[in-house]
Structures are given as C-alpha cells and as structure tokens.
C-alpha cells in the first residue's frame, strides 16, 4: 500500500489516503471488488505478519495485503506430472520443458504447483525450489505447509546435490576433466538476463564433457553440469561464459525476439537429471533421477535408486 505522493491511481483520484486497507484494494481492482469482499469475509486476506484483514483494518502505507487472486480460465490442456518419488512429506516430479515451476503472470494453471494441486487434490502443495520455465527435470514439491521449513533448510544449507544434462557446442575449454567456473552473478529486477560482474564469488559450477554427437546442425557435446550454488540462470550464464551457450536457449547469449515463446519440439537443452539429499525427517539418503533425456541425443545409462 503506497504512501502519500505515490503515483498510484487510487491515491491520485482520492487526493488523500484511503481510510481502510479493504477500501483501497476494492478501488484498485474494481472489477474484483465483490469477489474481494467475499475473501475478506472468509478471513483469507492477511497482512505481512499474517494478521487477518477485516473491513475495519486501517490503511497503513508501506505494508502489504496478501491474497490469492482467482485463477483465470484458459484453453491450455491439463498438465499431468510424471511422479518420480513420493513419501508422506514430498513428491518429486519430472517438470516438462516450457512449464513454470510456480504461478507467474499469465502462467497460473500452466505451472507445476497448480498442476500438482489439481492432480494430487492437495491445495497445500508448494515447490521447494525452482527450475526455469525452459528447464525440464526433477522438481521437489512439499505436501504440507508445516513441513516446508525442514526441506527449505536443506536447500539453504546447500546440502542438496544436483546434476544436470546440458547440450551445447564443442570447444577446447571443456573436456572430460571437470572445469570449474566461479564468478559473481546478479540479476536486476526487470532485466531479462543475469550477468557476471565484479565482487565476491557467489556462483560456482563444475562442467565436464560426457560424450559428443553430430546431427544436421553440426557437432554437439553432452555435458554433465553440477551447480554448487543456486543463482538465477547460473548454468546458462556459466555455460555462456565458457563459450558454450545451451542449445535452443533463446535468452543467452543474446535474447531473441521470441525469447518468451516456448517451442515444445525444440526445447532448451538443459535437464535437472538428478537430486541427492539426506531426508530431513527420516534421515534416509534419497536420490531422485529424471526420466527425461536431451531430445537430440540419447543420454548414457544412469544409476537407479
């Protein structure tokens, strides 16, 4: 909720601050006013501290009001997620290329979280980490809200080991011996690409060439990629810095005009192929393998767990 002088349409029209938080939201989204009133009455609207918003809650500049807007209907076909692992607390699925991990913009129903909530009839399902929309492979979902903290902690402590398949061109910088890339990666809100820059190292990736193949487009390499940190677009940035941008990547090294259009027949060649961790609740070691393979090359045999 903006403060005095902000170029907000409601504040500009009123010439002053609204009296209540509810009146502000209803004026900000007049087409949803009736629906929002029902959400408030049902206690499903909260402030930053999770306090429930009521019709008498005062307008407080600088704070936020949180609620889930209605999921728009669309003509997209229902998404069925391939389950790789499931226990009492989590479900691991193979996220398809081109599917958002979490609801974003117009991609609400077309997201792994919403697809999972529908498929598993569980509105508490959430993603424990994210994969770029263009990346396929292992995505971990949590079944219950109260269990999220334990699993989030293992990601925060970097105790989850991840490996990826990547297809890119060949050069003399990466061979069968692992090459480590270390840099500082940052991403400015509103910009499409993440960038390397000066400062302390916050992104580390190990890359090695697994095999080579050729097709009508030329010579290609299949790479084993192991990110030791989790910066936005880290693998895409580091592969590009090695002179090996990912095959079918529309964003790196230079954004294409159709960068936001997914091509299901020619997806970006990056797959989150395995994830290994110690289960924070049972203490058991868990390894989850994707069933996806790079579309233009048969991946070598993988260990089964």
Instruction: Just list the catalytic residues.
Output: 132
What kind and span of H or E run contains 90?
strand 90-95
Q: How many CB atoms are closer than 10 A to CB 17?
A: 17
Q: Which long-range contacts (CB under 8 A, 24 or more apart) does 285-289 make?
A: 286/85, 288/84, 288/85, 288/92, 288/138, 288/140, 289/84, 289/138
Q: How many CB atoms lie within 10 A of CB 109?
A: 18
Report the b/e string of 165-204 with b at 16+ CB within 10 A: bbbbebeeebeeeeeebebebeeeeeeebbebeeeeeebb
Q: How far apart are CA 223 and CA 176, in angstroms?
A: 9
Residue found under tokens 């498929």: 119
Give the phi and the psi of residue 197 in degrees, each rounded to 5: -155, -175
Q: Measuring CA to CA, which residue among 17, 99, 20, 109 is closest to residue 71?
A: 109
- Please list, in sequence order, all residues whose beta carbon lies within 8 angstroms of the beta carbon of residue 209, skipping any fewer than 6 positions away: 170, 174, 175, 176, 221, 222, 223
Preceding omega of 195 cis (within 30 degrees of 0): no
Q: Which run of H or of E encompasses 153? A: helix 148-156
Element (H, E) at 179: strand 179-186
């Amino acid at each position: 909720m903006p403060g005095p002088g902000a170029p907000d349409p409601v504040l500009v029209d009123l010439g002053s601050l609204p009296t209540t938080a509810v009146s502000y939201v209803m004026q900000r989204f007049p087409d949803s006013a009736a629906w929002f009133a029902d959400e408030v009455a049902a206690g499903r609207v909260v402030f930053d501290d999770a306090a429930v918003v009521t019709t008498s809650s005062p307008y407080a500049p600088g704070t936020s009001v949180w609620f889930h807007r209605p999921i728009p209907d669309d003509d997209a076909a229902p998404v069925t997620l391939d389950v790789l692992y499931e226990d009492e607390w989590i479900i691991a699925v193979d996220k398809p290329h081109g599917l958002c991990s979490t609801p974003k913009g117009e991609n609400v129903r077309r997201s792994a979280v919403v697809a999972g909530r529908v498929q598993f009839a569980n509105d508490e399902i959430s993603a424990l980490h994210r994969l770029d929309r263009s990346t396929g492979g292992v995505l971990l979902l949590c079944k219950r809200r109260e269990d999220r903290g334990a699993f989030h902690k293992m990601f925060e402590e970097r105790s989850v080991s991840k490996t990826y398949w990547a297809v890119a061109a060949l050069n003399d910088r990466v061979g069968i011996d692992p090459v480590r890339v270390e840099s500082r990666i940052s991403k400015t809100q509103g910009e499409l690409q993440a960038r390397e820059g000066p400062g302390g190292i916050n992104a580390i990736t190990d890359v090695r060439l697994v095999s080579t193949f050729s097709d009508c487009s030329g010579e290609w390499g299949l790479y084993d990629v192991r990110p030791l940190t989790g910066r936005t677009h880290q693998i895409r940035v580091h592969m590009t810095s090695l002179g090996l941008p990912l095959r079918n990547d529309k964003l790196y090294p230079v954004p294409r005009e159709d960068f936001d259009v997914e091509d299901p027949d020619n997806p970006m060649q990056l797959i989150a192929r395995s994830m290994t961790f110690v289960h924070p609740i049972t203490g058991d070691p868990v390894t989850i393998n994707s069933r996806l393979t790079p579309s233009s090359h048969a991946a070598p045999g993988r260990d089964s767990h």
